[in-house]
Amino acid sequence: MTRPRLLAIETSCDETAAAVVDDELHVVSSVVSSQIDLHASFGGVVPEVAGRAHVELLEPVVAEALAAAGGSMTEPGVEAVAVTAGPGLIGSLLVGLSGAKAMSYAWDVPLVAVNHLEGHLFAAQLDAGEVAFPHVTLLVSGGHTMLLAVDAPGGYRLLGETIDDAAGEAYDKVARFLGLGYPGGPAIDRLAREGDPTAFAFPRALRGDSLDVSFSGLKTAVVRMVDKATTVNVPDVAASFQAAVVDVLVDKAMRAVDRVGATALVLGGGVAANSALRSAMAEACQESGIACHLPSATMCTDNAAMIAAAGWFRLTAGEIAPLTQAADPSMALQLTSKGGEQ
Ligand code: KG4
Ligand code: ZN
């Protein structure tokens, strides 16, 4: 007997992605078509270009994910369609959402609207299985940096967040300034391996008890230092910048673990693919005797399997979206409380 399957679609930014996942959170197929080459010459994602590319790529990407799971556009073999409804670029979100609505209607299966951030929170479960509660999740992506206490699936308390730039945004801005191209995170990650992380003492902002973080001062410090210098060793700058980001994130995450009494730490979001962050976090967790869940690099960056994982949870909770479901470019994560209190 085949297990119930769900098709998920993700088009919130510059990745067109579709995945088929079964109810054991087993990824049957996952296809991610990146538009990086389309946007690289502009130094960042161009919303209009992204929207048009999603229109061209959506159908072939969904067809490929279904075919790899033994189905087709006419015989999909899925029980529901989950789709990212926000946050993200409105023109990009609308392509995936409209396509998902059409498929849900044509196949007569429920539509499930998923918050992209919740997808990132569920990504670790696809690789690591169930994670013990309560745990702390550090969500670090291009648009968000949040520390959350997760008391149960769907039970999120915001412990801290960035007061200015997201971690991924800081990577992308510093990489652009250093002429390393787009996307900046992987470029800095690679180059930093050849540099000395102690070469420059860049600032670590908001030391102390607050679990909020700030990266805009760090970015400015890098720009000032490079502008003043006559020659710069770019790998050293990359490594020193990265060391400052990683120090702050690990420090705040471990404080959050203490505050919550968590037995596990989970990483999620594109920056969670960063090799220095992963090894520093794993080491800190080991010292503290708690479990560390690091999704594989492909599950950290945008994909549809994570949307399916969050979609299963919402579907099981009876949350079926109407065909009038709107896309919300600034959709917030539903929190059980704002200040971290239980
Ligand atoms: O989660 P994601 O794929 O998209 C958003 O929802 O934002 O995250 C993209 C971000 C970009 O800022 C990218 O530079 C960063 O994740 N990123 C990395 C690495 N891989 C992707 N940052 C640091 N190191 C990496 N290896
Ligand atoms: Zn994302």
d(CA 126, CA 322): 27
167-177 helix and 216-228 helix, angle to the nearest 10 degrees? 10
Query: If you average pLDDT over residues 209-218, what whole number do you get?
Result: 95
Instruction: Check pLDDT > 80 for residue 124.
Output: yes
Among protein residues, the one with the nearest Cα to ligand 1's atom 3 is: 301
From 10, 39, 92, 301, give the residue whose CB has the most ligand 1 atoms within 8 Å, as the site to mutate.
301
Residue 287 C-alpha to ligand 1 middle, in angstroms?
27
CA end-to-end span of the chain:
42
- Residue 132 vs residues 27, 57, 152, 211: alpha-carbon distances, Å: 21, 38, 9, 22
From 141, 176, 242, give the residue whose CB has the most ligand 1 atoms within 8 Å, as the site to mutate.
141
Q: How confident is the model at residue 338 (pLDDT cuts 50, 70, 90)?
A: low
Query: If you average pLDDT over residues 302-321, what whole number do you get?
Result: 96
pLDDT at 55: 95
Q: Is residue 205 within 8 Å of 249, Cβ to Cβ?
A: no
Q: Is residue 95 within 8 Å of 332, Cβ to Cβ?
A: no
CA dihedral 294, 295, 300, 302 (to 10 degrees): -160
φ and ψ at 246, to 5 degrees?
Answer: -65, -45
Both tokens of residue 86? 């926000």
Q: Which of 33, 39, 5, 36 is nearest to 17 (CA)?
A: 33
The set of residues, in sequence order, having a beta carbon less than 8 Å from that of 189 and lying 6+ positions away, is: 242, 273, 274, 275, 276
Lateral strand order in the sheet of 155-161: 155-161, 145-152, 135-140, 264-268, 291-293
pLDDT at 340: 53
The ligand with the least distance to the CA atom of 15 is: 1
The ligand with the least distance to the CA atom of 140 is: 1
Tell me what percent of the chain is helix, strand and coil, each rounded to the nearest 5: 45, 20, 35
pLDDT at 2: 65
Could you tell me whether strands 264-268 and 291-293 are parallel, antiparallel, or unpaired per DSSP bridges? parallel
**Tell me: the pLDDT tens digits for 149-208?**
999 989 999 999 999 999 999 999 999 999 998 889 999 999 999 999 999 999 998 778
Query: If you average pLDDT over residues 7-12, what whole number do you get?
Result: 98
Residue 264 carries which DSSP code? E
- Residue 153 vs residues 29, 125, 231, 335: alpha-carbon distances, Å: 24, 11, 51, 12
pLDDT at 342: 55
d(CA 81, CA 237): 45
Q: Is residue 56 within 8 Å of 95, Cβ to Cβ?
A: no
d(CA 32, CA 10): 9
φ and ψ at 137, to 5 degrees?
Answer: -115, 130
Instruction: Check pLDDT > 80 for residue 127.
Output: no
216-228 helix and 234-260 helix, angle to the nearest 10 degrees? 160
The ligand with the least distance to the CA atom of 185 is: 1
Predicted structure pTM score: 0.94
- In the Cβ-directed half-sphere of 304, how many Cα atoms lie within 13 Å? 34
90-107 helix and 47-68 helix, angle to the nearest 10 degrees? 30
Percent over 90 (pLDDT), the chain: 85
Output the ligand 1 site: residues, CB below 6 A. Answer: 13, 141-143, 168, 171-172, 183-186, 189, 269-271, 273-274, 301-302
Q: Which of 146, 148, 200 is nearest to 174 (CA)?
A: 200
